[in-house]
């Protein structure tokens, strides 16, 4: 292993330890307290175990849905991720590009800001019937609905960050003969990274919320469908397994993006 590679992994290791060690205990303390309280309350009858089964039994059901004869959890999870990830890549990518351009160009900002501002507060679920009319009742409609929600959050955060770039940096780059492309790549984009990752993190969180709604009302597979189907069949432990799975995935992806953003912008600590 090269020194350069070791140095890179060493930096990542130190960063993760510095971020996780301070937060890990507090982050896990409240969920553990809730789960222990839930377990005891359900066992002694304070909570109705038909509606709130003990977490230990939900854990057993999780194992069954992973490895038992009715194993479906991996399939349903991959179906949901197969909708979220393409929407995230497309919506997030377009949001970054347009957001940087809007923050850099007043003309583009004047053109697109009214449309973005009008679309942002609109619940994206209400667009599903329109998307179904345009694309049909298929995966395209579901991915477009998710991608639109991600796009709006990313473009708003990115544009706000690009607008806040210090004019001194821009003028210094111009004085050194920087082209428009160089200006965007070397000045605007690096300075906007914290806002970009903030938008990506928010967008990913919203995507995991929206995927449940989309799959409940307009899908026959995925974790959202699994939650709704379990409620209809009154298979409550199966419902909780799907809820916990979507929650854990949302936490991992959302906080993973936050930590990635902090790592890539760790140079800001020296400012």
pTM: 0.82
Domains of the chain are 1-52 (no CATH), 54-270 (1.10.3720.10)
Q: Which residue, 51, 21, 35, 9, is CA-closest to 248? A: 35
**How many CB atoms sit inside 10 A of residue 157's CB?**
24
Give the pLDDT confidence of 162-216 residue by residue, as tens digits.
Answer: 888 777 777 777 777 767 777 777 778 888 888 999 999 999 999 999 999 999 9
> 105, exposed or middle or buried, with CB in 10 Å at 0-12, 13-18, 19+?
middle
Give the pLDDT confidence of 225-269 residue by residue, as tens digits.
Answer: 999 999 999 999 999 999 999 999 998 999 888 888 888 877 665
Which whole number is the average pLDDT over 214-219?
87
Looking at the predicted structure, is the pLDDT value of residue 19 above 70?
Answer: no
- For residues 80 and 215, the answer to whether their CB atoms sit within 8 Å is yes
Q: Which residue, 83, 93, 77, is CA-closest to 252? A: 77
Give the pLDDT confidence of 82-112 residue by residue, as tens digits.
Answer: 999 999 999 999 999 999 988 888 899 899 9
Looking at the predicted structure, is the pLDDT value of residue 5 above 60?
Answer: no
Burial 80-98 (b: 16+ CB within 10 A, else e): bbebbeebbebbbebbbeb
> 13, exposed or middle or buried, with CB in 10 Å at 0-12, 13-18, 19+?
exposed
- For residues 102 and 112, the answer to whether their CB atoms sit within 8 Å is yes
Give the pLDDT confidence of 26-69 residue by residue, as tens digits.
Answer: 667 778 888 899 999 999 989 999 999 999 999 999 999 999 88
- pLDDT confidence tier of residue 18, bands split at 50, 70 and 90: low
Residue 125, H or E segment: none
- d(Cα 98, Cα 159) in Å, to the nearest integer? 8
**How many CB atoms sit inside 10 A of residue 72's CB?**
17
Question: What does the DSSP assignment read for 188-241?
Answer: IHHHHHHHHHHHHHHHHHHHHHHHHHHHHHH-SSSHHHHHHHHHHHT-HHHHHH
């Amino acid at each position: 292993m090269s020194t350069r590679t070791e140095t890179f992994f060493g930096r990542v290791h130190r960063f993760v330890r510095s971020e996780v060690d301070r937060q890990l205990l507090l982050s896990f303390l409240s969920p553990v307290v809730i789960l222990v309280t839930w377990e005891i309350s359900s066992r002694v009858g304070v909570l109705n175990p038909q509606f709130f089964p003990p977490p230990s039994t939900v854990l057993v059901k999780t194992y069954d849905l992973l490895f038992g004869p009715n194993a479906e959890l991996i399939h349903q999870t991959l179906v949901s991720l197969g909708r979220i990830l393409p929407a995230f890549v497309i919506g997030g990518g377009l949001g970054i590009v347009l957001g940087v351009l809007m923050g850099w160009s007043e003309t583009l900002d004047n053109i697109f800001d009214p449309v973005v501002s009008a679309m942002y507060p609109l619940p994206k679920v209400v667009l599903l019937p329109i998307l179904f009319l345009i694309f049909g009742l298929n995966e395209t409609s579901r991915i477009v609905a998710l991608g639109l929600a991600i796009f709006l959050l990313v473009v708003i955060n990115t544009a706000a960050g690009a607008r806040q770039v210090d004019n001194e940096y821009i003028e210094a780059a111009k004085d050194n003969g920087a082209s428009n492309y160089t200006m965007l790549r070397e000045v605007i984009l690096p300075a906007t990274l914290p806002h970009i990752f903030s938008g990506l993190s928010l967008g990913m969180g919203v995507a995991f919320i929206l995927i449940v709604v989309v799959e409940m009302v307009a899908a026959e597979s995925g974790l959202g469908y699994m939650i709704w189907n379990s409620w209809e069949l009154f298979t409550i432990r199966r419902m909780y397994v799907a809820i916990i799975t979507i929650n854990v995935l949302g936490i991992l992806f959302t906080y993973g993006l936050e930590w990635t953003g902090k790592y890539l912008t760790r140079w800001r600590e020296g400012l």
